[in-house]
Structure 1
Amino acid sequence: MPTEAVQEVIKYAAPTRLPAAPSFVAGIVNLRGRVTPLVRLRELLGVPNGDNDGGDAAGSEDKFIIVCRRRGLQMGMMIERVHTMYRVPQQDIDWAIESHLGISVDFVSGLLKADERLISIVSVDKILDCVLKR
């Protein structure tokens, strides 16, 4: 996720559920007077949780919230952990992944090659658009 979209990373806070919200929206929290929707990033991106008991992964696995602010709106994305933060030159990021892959990539805006790994760069704007549409 681009660092310019990240306001802060905080410890997990239990949200107030919203009855008509899509399943990937965990609910809302009050962060310093701002009502902030929380998104289950793992569910939205379709990443399996590795939990075979069928329980709620959000409460047992998500330990942090990445608070993002885009276009004047604030949103929190629930994550299990922060692996590493990279500061890389723009030329090391491939922003044209859709043209290379020939398919639509819903929430990924770029790829970074670090050593022998490919790291996906999540588009906060695309996630925000998805939350607003539903």
Structure 2
Amino acid sequence: MAEFSSALTVLSSGMRGQGQRLRHISENIANVDTPGYRRKTIEFRETVEGGRRSGAIEAGPVRLSQAALPQVHDPAHPMANEDGYHDGSNVELVTELADAREAQRSYEANLKMFEQVRRMSSQLFDILKR
């Protein structure tokens, strides 16, 4: 039974992590045209319990992209310098959409496995009742 519980813990941590990743991707997409906005990313790391690797993950700290901000020429913009340029956003919409699709598919894969483990444990209980 501990194996089922452990599997559910690992799978639910994966779903939580991908949910956090999707939230940051959503923020990036929402700010694609925000001047000076830097793309946010997160990395995952495996959790350790009792000195042993658990297989579960947790999100690390949010990181801001250090890629150069593009210079946008718009003399009418309130943030424009004397030459008419201001910092744009370093968010690439195509990259964000690809990352969102990857996170969504990973979430769905974890969900399907979660449902399968739950179904297997339910069937095991039914067999043990007999």
Instruction: Give TM class, smaller chain.
Output: under 0.3
TM normalised by structure 2 equals 0.22
TM-score, L = length of structure 1: 0.22
More helix by share: 2
